[in-house]
């Protein structure tokens, strides 16, 4: 088995055994703390352009199945694991993690100290990394210098968003789901509630959305910096107030920007399936699934009509917003889970109720 090295811009080098594709790869190195859910993680479009470090030591033990993908084509640049299971054991397993990575041409590395790597990321923040074959011909200093000068693309949303609108029919409320890098779990939750969903690209205009005559608009999760998606911010400025809005993750950040707020990059982000979030209205704490590198600046909300509804108990960052005057609310975490706890699944019912109330309100007003 070929040896592989992960070289960081800090100068640190991790050498282990290669799995998956033999190609070299560069990306932003991040970590996620989920004990399970590696299939959902590797197929989450929000990880576009990133090399994902799994902090749980054994990965791949229950294999890969046909049901747990969150997108058809994974967008990660690679994966780092402590120990890879060669022979998965689960009644749903159709393939091993290594077989999937070979099929999708994704490189991985196993047999490295993921605890040490995680500590480096926590100290320096998310860092640039490069996968290469281990060997005497590798010039580490040269690669480190190139990494420091490298600027990764900022069009991740464009890369993972659908190129054309498509329907997911139902007989309930019509929801336009704007795909910034949508996890399929969001669509599944809307389908469960019989919504008549139309999925549209990230750069769909407000006029085009209103021409679909929706009862509500759902803003999906997605990768990267929300400020790199000005098309969506402009669209939302025209949409907010006309129809109910529910935003998740990147959609939450875009909603804040469109409403006059601001965002900033976290040092190493929130990624995992065990993040506690407090509902400020009920006082209830829910465990949530999260995957984001940016957050809403609470100080920027003072001059807006937005109210903070949820906060992260680990660091106090903003985890939920609602508009004080208009039918719109958002959360930073993933109520559809996949992977993770389903404590916050009720927010989809809240969205349905908001659409029902808004329609009733319009009819009564008329």
Question: Which residues form the catalytic set?
Answer: 249, 334, 336
291 neighbors 250 (Cβ within 8 angstroms):
no
The answer to whether 250 touches 226, Cβ cutoff 8 Å, is: yes
Contact 154, 225 (CB under 8 A): yes
Closest CA to 268 of 288, 292, 289: 292
Would you call 113 helix, strand, or coil by DSSP? coil
Instruction: Give the residue from 10, 36, 46 showing the smallest Cα distance to 273.
Output: 36
DSSP 231: H
Coil, strand or helix at 96: coil
**Strand 3-8 with 13-20, pairing:** antiparallel
Please state, in angstroms and rounded to a whole number, the distance separating the CA atoms of residues 259 and 232: 12
The number of residues in the chain equals 366
- Tell which phi-psi region holds residue 318, choosing left (phi > 0), alpha (psi between -120 and 50) or beta: beta
Give the count of beta carbons closer than 10 Å to the beta carbon of residue 194.
Answer: 13
Decide: residue 10, CB within 10 A, 0-12 exposed, 13-18 middle, 19+ buried.
middle
């Amino acid at each position: 088995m070929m040896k592989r090295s992960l070289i960081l811009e800090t100068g640190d080098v991790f050498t282990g055994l290669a799995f998956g594709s033999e190609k070299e790869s560069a990306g932003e190195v991040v970590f996620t703390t989920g004990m399970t859910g590696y299939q959902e993680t590797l197929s989450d479009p929000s990880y576009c352009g990133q090399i994902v470090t799994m902090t749980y030591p054994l990965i791949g033990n229950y294999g890969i199945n046909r049901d747990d993908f969150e997108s058809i084509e994974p967008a990660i640049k690679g994966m780092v694991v402590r120990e890879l299971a060669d022979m998965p054991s689960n009644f749903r397993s159709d393939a091993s993690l290594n077989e999937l990575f070979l099929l999708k041409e994704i490189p991985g590395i196993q047999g490295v100290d993921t605890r040490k790597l995680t500590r480096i990321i926590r100290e320096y923040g998310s860092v640039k990394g490069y996968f290469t074959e281990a060997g005497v011909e590798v010039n580490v200093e040269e690669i480190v210098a190139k990494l420091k000068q490298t600027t990764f693309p900022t069009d991740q949303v464009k890369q993972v968003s659908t190129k054309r609108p498509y329907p997911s029919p139902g007989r309930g409320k019509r929801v336009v789901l704007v795909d910034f890098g949508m996890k399929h779990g969001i669509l599944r939750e809307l389908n469960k509630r019989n919504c008549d969903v139309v999925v549209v690209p990230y750069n769909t205009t407000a006029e085009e959305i209103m021409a679909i005559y929706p009862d509500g608009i759902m803003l999906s999760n997605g990768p990267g910096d929300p400020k790199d998606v000005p098309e969506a911010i402009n669209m939302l400025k025209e949409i907010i107030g006309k129809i109910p809005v529910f935003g998740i993750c990147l959609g939450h950040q875009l909603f804040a920007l469109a409403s006059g707020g601001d965002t900033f990059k976290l040092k190493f982000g929130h990624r995992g399936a065990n993040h506690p979030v407090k509902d400020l209205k009920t006082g209830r704490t829910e465990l949530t699934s999260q995957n984001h590198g940016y957050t809403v600046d609470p100080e920027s909300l003072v001059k807006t009509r937005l109210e903070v509804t949820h906060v992260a108990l680990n660091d106090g960052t903003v985890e939920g917003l609602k508009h004080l005057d208009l039918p719109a609310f958002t959360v930073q975490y993933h109520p559809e889970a996949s992977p993770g706890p389903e404590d916050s699944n009720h927010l989809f019912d809240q969205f349905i109720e908001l659409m029902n109330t808004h329609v009733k309100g319009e009819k009564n007003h008329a």
